[in-house]
Amino acid sequence: MLRVALDRLYLFAGYLAGAFMVAIFALMMVLSAGRPVGINIPAGDDFVSWCMAAMAFLGLAHTFRSGEMIRVGLLIDRLEGRTRHIVEIVALIIGTGFIGFFAWSAVKMNYQSWLFGDMSQGVIAIRMWIPQIGYSTGLVILFIAFVDELIHVLSGGAPRYERPKPATAEEVVERAIQSGV
């Protein structure tokens, strides 16, 4: 049951990131197409940048769990068996520590923005904790994904974020097409 809830959380965060991408597209189209006809969105650039930050951070956990996050495997791809498993655990521990600190700092900053009543400096004054929610929530969900994966790998499982190596040249081409390379 917990597995289903966590997978749904990661998927929901991915969908939310997609919704912010659609919002960015809509705002950019209105800003671009509206300019010649006199339509203007006050602080439109601010809204686009806040949506972009929310999109990027909310999409991290889903990207991580889907095996689409950029990973440099120069060392780990040369290792096998127990050694590879130990290096994988060490990498997850380090990653969990960094993401945990980053998430804690983001939530603390968000809370302080709310506590002090920070306002945006743009044309439209908005309380800064509102656009910061996407940033801090995305990092908290990514931290949960890292902890989830660390527990899974510590219990002897293979990393779920790592895709198996392609067996044929056709698979390499298919993956490159799917990733947009």
**pLDDT of 22-33, one tens digit each?**
999 999 999 888
The separation between the first and the last C-alpha atoms of the chain, rounded to the nearest angstrom, is: 36
The answer, yes or no, to whether residue 68 has pLDDT greater than 80, is no
Q: Residue 118 contacts by C-beta under 8 Å, 6 or more apart in sequence?
A: 112, 127, 128, 129
Residue type, 144: I
Q: Which of helix, strand or coil describes residue 127?
A: strand
| Residue closest to 134 by CA, chosen among 8, 7, 13 | 13
Q: Which pLDDT tens digit goes with each residue over 94-145? A: 999 999 999 999 999 999 999 998 888 878 888 999 999 999 999 999 999 9
The crossing angle, in degrees rounded to 10, of helices 129-154 and 44-58 is 10
The crossing angle, in degrees rounded to 10, of helices 44-58 and 2-34 is 160
In the chain, where the domains are located: 2-166
- Give 77's DSSP letter: G
